[in-house]
Structure 1
Amino acid sequence: MNTAKDEIQSLLQKLPDDCTFEDIQYHLYVIEKLRKGIERAESEGVVSQEEVEKRLSKWASK
């Protein structure tokens, strides 16, 4: 398991040398949102593509 420090160092190596603080903040924000989404999907489960399409078609037809 990577530590937060390891993940940030990896991110910084991937970003261009001329990136801004805002670029770094944005990438950290996206990584955190993805991590929380994955954790939520693992704990609460997910909805299949078919179920999403079924629910969306009912909502869109109203």
Structure 2
Amino acid sequence: MAQVTVKEEVVKMIDSLPDSVTVSDIMEKLYFRARVDAAFNDLDKNGGIDHVEVERRMAKWLSE
């Protein structure tokens, strides 16, 4: 099975938007997608933190 290219994914995303979409709306979607992709790449490269550590950090942040 052929791998979907980034270009094909972007075209599909744009095609799924309503006809009334603005260029700003499209840019916002693309920026969001780029940030999510960067986060996943970072997780693949550097790993993440475990659930217990997330809970510890959230408890600290929420108590401040």
Verify same fold: TM over 0.5: yes
Counting matched residue pairs gives: 62
Map 1:1-62 to 2 at 5 A. Answer: 1-58=3-60
* Residues 61, 27 of structure 1: alpha-carbon distance in 2 compared, 3 angstrom cutoff: closer
TM-score (norm: length of structure 2): 0.80
TM-score in terms of structure 1 length:
0.82
CA RMSD, aligned part only? 1.7
Q: Which runs of 5+ in 2 are unaligned?
A: none
Q: Which runs of 4+ in 1 moved over 2 A?
A: 55-62
- C-alpha distance 52-18 of structure 1, shift in aligned 2 (>3 A): same
- Unpaired runs of 5+ residues, structure 1, are none
